[in-house]
């Protein structure tokens, strides 16, 4: 972290989240509780295009709005993690490498895009499935979240990553990018989960499926076996249909809550220049979910 961030005297921060169907997001509570622990006047606003009845093309106007209202920055979620790129002045190394942004910092009239998603998934996996077999895995979803999770998967030591997306060309593109970054023979596009899961150690799900507005499962239940581990990035609900089905079959599972917490840790740091307490934020997330009956 830069010295100017460490030395900031600002006590008031307004930040937000731009996305679709995000009214159940836990990010406001996570950020504001941590801000209060640092003695900050810290507000976090949901900017939901569904709730506002706006088209996805409203993204540039929403960025302008938040910037003009003096926001320190905003998180970005589905479906804007890649669409936001043309509207930024600068990208961090991670965001440029991944081609996806989940955090935008407004500073000195400039918009700087960052990606804390990959770090969030990496930390969550290391804590939740530290000894999981990682020879081969299937990733479902090659969109904005998928590109970050794929990067984390290879950083975790998964040596063979199959990628499946309803847009096969997008899976091919992501596989090519990963092989250029990590070396040939690490990532492969597949057209059907059935082409991978019988040979894979685990499944990573990185699409909105399983959320209230996108019910269902990304793979057929009969493809899941007890030997598989299953990681989901969806956290609303915390136990998705995919994770519930996997647990019934005896699979080890990783809910999306951990990724949510650790991407928030990274975003909080970027927004206000303070070092968040990851354990405190994790405990708060668990508390929220327990109160809401989703833990």
Q: Is 220 a catalytic residue?
A: no
Q: Sheet containing 90-91: give its strands across.
A: 41-48, 12-19, 73-76, 103-107, 110-114, 90-91
Tokens of 220: 């057929």
User: Which of 227, 200, 232, 229 is closest to 216 using CA atoms?
Assistant: 232
| Four-residue CA torsion sign, 123, 99, 285, 16 | positive
Q: Which of 11, 14, 26, 81 is catalytic?
A: 81
* In the block, residue with structure tokens 């706006």: 54
Q: What is the DSSP letter of 203?
A: E
Q: What are phi and psi of 262, to 5 degrees?
A: -80, -25
- Omega before 189 within 30 of 0, i.e. cis: no
The residues annotated with a catalytic role in the active site are 81
């Amino acid at each position: 972290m830069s010295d100017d961030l460490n030395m900031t005297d600002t006590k008031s921060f307004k930040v937000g989240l731009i996305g679709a169907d995000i009214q159940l997001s836990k990010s406001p509570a996570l950020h504001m509780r941590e801000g209060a622990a640092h003695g900050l006047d810290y507000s976090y606003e949901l900017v939901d295009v569904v709730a506002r009845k706006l088209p996805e093309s409203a993204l540039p106007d929403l960025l302008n709005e938040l910037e003009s209202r003096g926001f320190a920055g905003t998180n970005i979620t589905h479906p804007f993690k890649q669409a936001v790129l043309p509207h930024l002045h600068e990208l961090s190394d991670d965001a440029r490498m991944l081609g996806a942004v989940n955090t935008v910092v407004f500073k000195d009239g400039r918009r700087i895009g960052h990606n804390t998603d990959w770090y969030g998934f990496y930390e969550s996996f290391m804590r939740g499935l530290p000894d999981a077999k990682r020879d081969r895995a299937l990733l479902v979803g090659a969109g904005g979240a998928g590109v970050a999770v794929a990067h984390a998967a290879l950083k975790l030591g998964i040596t063979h990553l199959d990628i499946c997306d309803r847009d096969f060309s997008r899976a091919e593109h992501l596989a090519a990018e990963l092989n250029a970054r990590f070396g040939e023979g690490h990532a492969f596009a597949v057209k059907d989960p059935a082409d991978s899961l019988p040979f894979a150690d685990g499944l990573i799900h990185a699409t909105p499926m399983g959320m209230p507005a996108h019910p269902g499962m990304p793979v057929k239940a009969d493809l899941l076996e007890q030997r598989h581990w299953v990681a989901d990035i969806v956290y609303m609900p915390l136990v998705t249909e995919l994770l519930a089905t996997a647990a019934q079959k005896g699979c080890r599972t990783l809910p999306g809550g951990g990724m949510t917490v650790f991407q928030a840790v990274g975003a909080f740091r970027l927004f206000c220049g303070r070092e968040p307490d990851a354990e405190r934020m994790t405990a708060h997330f668990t508390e929220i979910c327990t109160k809401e009956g989703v833990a």
